[in-house]
Structure 1
Amino acid sequence: MLFKKLTLKLAVVAASLSLLLTGQAGAADNLKGTIEIDGSSTVYPITEAVAEEFGKVHKDVRVTVGISGTGGGFKRFCNGEIPIADASRPITDAEKTACKAKGITYTDITVAYDGVTIAINKNNTWAQKLTTAELKSIFKSGSTVKKWSDVRKGFPNEEIKIYSPGSDSGTFDFFTEKVNGKSKSSRNDSQITFSEDDNVLVEGITNDKYAIGYFGYAYYVENKAKLKAVVVDNGKRAVGPSAQTIAKGMYFLSRPIFFYVNKADLANRAEVKAFSQFYLENAGKLSKEVGYIPLSKGFYTSQASKLK
């Protein structure tokens, strides 16, 4: 008799659970719409991975992710064109003013840690460690460096080819400020190629033994077989990018990366809120999978309150 009663109770619980799950599935099925995201090509791999996983759960929500650069993303975001902007740097005062002019308020979420990686061709045997002064000589505005031998005596007497993110890129802003001493200050001549697409930069360096360039750490991780990462000597320490050196802030070009979400869309569009919450819940795992360094679980949890 006791066994029969227990079996009956379990059956009731199972039935109730089934109804609950069915209800949740129905709620998920009712979530519809399109979410357009634009901005940083550095943050793109994480956001694209989140969008792919989100789409498996919410099949009627279409998420598109663009790479117009952090500045390009903020332009569209502050103009009310998109609900979410990926950013590899914090929003600037000018961008805050543009958002305010349109009545747009926002929530900023830190996604992961990145280390801007200075990459050289895999066959480059001479520039595996460079000082910040040497890097500045290559990338600064008005640079007279034409050949590797201009950077350091003993380097090859071969023309140097330079690959850089474009001026709308947050990575460009961060790098030029840290290395050249002023944000957006960069050489702009025939020896440098700019692109908002980091894959273009990767290909340029891959195909030229005498090339050098920079981009987010995830793009280096994905292409380790084709590239080398430069060890940066800033006078205090000489360290290359790795999960450990970036997480501990030991690497000279370590930084956090972000996404920004429009508060009105967060409050009024269920699909935007669901995606933002899903992003935070999965950012740690997915950022690691694509090559970035996740934050602590506690930090992700503390940020979740921003989305309520």
Structure 2
Amino acid sequence: MLGNGVVGILSETSNKWERRAPLTPSHCARLLNGGRDKSPGQGVARIIVQPSSKRIFHDKHYEEVGCEISDDLSACGLVLGIKMPRLEMIRPDTAYAFFSHTHKAQEENMPLLDKILAERATLFDYELVDGDNGKRLIAFGKFAGRVALIDLLRGLGERYLNLGYSTPFLSLGASYMYPSVTAAKAAVISVGDEIAREGLPSGICPLVFVFTGSGKGSLGAQEIFKLLPHTFVDPSKLPQLFEKARDPPLPGQASERVFEVYGCVVTSQDMVEHKDNPKVFDKADYYAHPECYKPVFHERIAPYVSVLVNCFYWEERFPRLLSTQQL
């Protein structure tokens, strides 16, 4: 069946909030228009879409471009999804593409990998799709950063309410609740307007967002953050920010509300220092010999963090950003 020209699109069942689709209707139209007259193995002749009432694209949008709507994907040589399908969806001699979360032996997904192996199915794991240069083609990008910051702000509102503080963040929905990035940004802008107008309780201020790393994920998160009234500060200036907050108000000046939030971007040199030569940081040397460095984030940065937006790549040979004990 593999490469038989029939592609299936799964109805997502992993999470209640999963509204994404691996192919949009416009993608499907392009594939079908380029594959109608081709022999099996040389194009896409059919696309079968499992019906879904929560997918961001309605079933009718797929039908309009020539897709078939059916729960039965048994005719498909390749089945595409976003997250893991139900185990009973795995069929012999069929190819699947989705985020499997199995290549690091994640315990909760081992039954899925066992099923794929037992059925002699083929798995294309999005996380392991590399380009010619060996770099991942499907990885966290700006959209991941945008979504993360929106969901974080929503959670922040809930947290502060539990601590006894009402904040404008409470009016935000989760990212999956918005039909577009534009709509989500409009909601964040509205929160920013309220902060600028009504302020934040002084008891939770200065409200400092620390972004680790400067990659696409971090840039996407900062893009949303910048919709709020904000000031970015250098990591070295964080202590001064809190000293200023402790200063008594000037005569006639109210101290109950704060009308902006603060951002701070930290990179490797703010997280670690060389064990023998702490005054000099060489990024290339750190990447080559991480065992020669010790963590300092917990001392220099963490005491001033209200919100940690963790966006940098990490693997076990590097020092941890924060150990459990440090946290």
Length-normalised TM-score, structure 1? 0.26
Length-normalised TM-score, structure 2? 0.25
Higher helix proportion, which one? 1
Q: Bigger relative contact order, structure 1 or 2, given CA contacts below 8 A and separation 6+?
A: 1
Query: Larger Cα Rg: Structure 1 or Structure 2?
Result: 2
